[in-house]
């Protein structure tokens, strides 16, 4: 009667919970290893176990979840639809466990909570410094900042590698978020601006037309980005083909610096244009066109809503909403 899975309880849910009490971390990592390696044999090598031992672990997992999680064939093994859904949740649990181990091992700062933020670069200009200033120094968490594209940040969030995203969400991400238990908190509006070198011939014009913009050299973000889509739409909506950029770069910092050096135009978040204007690198143009504003939002999985560091950060981020 010492075998953990010899449970005579006839309630299936209760039986699965009972069986789940005896799972270990290597059980939970097993599906990830099978998904990556394509077979139980590959998972066995990674775990330094025999294949019969890994087969037994999989059997124990499937009893706990009450579903077939892996299908096996001549070419190895692959996750079933149920196995894929279970792995999605386990990745979150394991990522949070790894983060807990990491913060517990920090010398001297083990009592400070860790907050892993994924953000677009514009957040470092327009929002993050202000939020950190509002946070009480005694409650300021250890920060782990990840910068990437919106797609990359969303993948990291749903895999549990970061605790929240701060940035603009595009329509593709809204579609991909269906099925995830998310909270989206709008924080601020971030308009786009067109900028040029201070000595550019259009810099002091009282009103720049779309036809004038069409004739200039441009430094813009790569195709597929929200900023590039806005740039293209600006001309297409006026019956013009978008100008072919002379430089493409995903970094608005790079674009603003190059635009100033090459006497070209660029389009970038307004807060970034203001920053480089103070450094006398660029000058915003006065155009008779309204550019769309993106909404900077904080997004987190509801399973992480109780993290004290995240709660404090949200309070600090939203405390300035009335001022913006």
Domains in the chain, please, with CATH? 12-89 (1.10.10.10), 94-189+295-323 (3.40.190.10), 191-294 (3.40.190.290)
Q: How crowded is residue 43: how many other Cβ atoms within 10 Å of its Cβ?
A: 27
Q: What are phi and psi of 293, to 5 degrees?
A: -105, 135
Compute the C-alpha angle 181/187/193, nearest 5°. Answer: 125
Closest CA to 284 of 249, 259, 253, 247: 259
Q: Which of 81-85, 282-286, 291-295 is predicted most confidently?
A: 282-286
The DSSP bridge pattern shows strands 70-73 and 76-79 to be antiparallel
For residue 105, give the 3-state DSSP assignment.
Answer: coil
Quick one: pLDDT at residue 105?
53
| pLDDT tops 90 at residue 302 | no
| pLDDT of 157 above 80 | yes
Task: Go through 204-214 and write b for each residue having 16 or more CB atoms within 10 A of its CB, e for each that does not.
Answer: eeeebeeeebe
Q: What is the pLDDT of residue 276?
A: 94
Provide mean pLDDT across the span 74-86: 80
User: pLDDT digit string (tens) for 174-228?
Assistant: 666 766 788 889 998 889 999 999 999 999 899 999 999 999 999 999 887 888 9
Mean pLDDT for 166-175 is 73
Q: Is the pTM of this model over 0.85?
A: no
């Amino acid at each position: 009667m010492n075998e953990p899975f010899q449970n005579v309880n006839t309630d299936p849910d209760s039986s699965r919970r009972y069986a789940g009490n005896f799972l270990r971390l290597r059980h939970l990592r097993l599906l990830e290893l099978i998904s990556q390696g394509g077979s139980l044999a590959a998972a066995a090598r990674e775990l330094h176990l025999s294949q019969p031992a890994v087969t037994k672990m999989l059997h124990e997992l499937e009893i706990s979840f009450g579903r077939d999680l892996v299908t096996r064939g001549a070419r190895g093994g692959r996750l079933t639809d149920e196995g894929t859904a279970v792995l999605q949740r386990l990745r979150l649990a394991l990522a949070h466990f790894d983060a807990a181990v990491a913060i517990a091992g920090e010398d001297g700062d083990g009592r400070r909570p860790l907050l892993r933020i994924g953000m677009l670069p514009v957040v470092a200009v327009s929002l993050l410094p202000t939020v950190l200033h509002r946070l009480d120094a005694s409650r300021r968490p250890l920060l782990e900042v990840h910068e990437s594209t919106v797609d990359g940040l969303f993948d990291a969030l749903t895999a549990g590698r970061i605790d929240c995203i701060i940035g603009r969400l595009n329509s593709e991400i809204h579609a991909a978020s269906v099925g995830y238990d998310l909270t989206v908190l709008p924080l601020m509006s971030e308009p786009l601006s067109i900028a040029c070198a201070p000595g550019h011939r259009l810099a002091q014009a009282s009103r720049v037309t779309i036809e004038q913009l069409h004739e200039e050299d441009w430094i813009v973000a790569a195709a597929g980005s929200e900023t590039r889509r806005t740039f293209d739409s600006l001309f297409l909506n006026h019956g013009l083909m978008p100008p072919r950029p002379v430089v493409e770069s995903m970094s608005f910092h790079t674009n603003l610096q190059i635009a100033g050096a090459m006497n070209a135009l660029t389009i970038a978040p307004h807060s970034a244009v203001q920053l480089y204007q103070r450094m006398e690198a660029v000058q915003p143009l006065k155009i008779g066109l309204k550019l769309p504003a993106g909404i900077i939002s904080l997004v987190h999985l509801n399973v992480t809503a109780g993290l004290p560091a995240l709660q404090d950060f949200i309070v600090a981020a939203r405390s300035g909403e009335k001022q913006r």
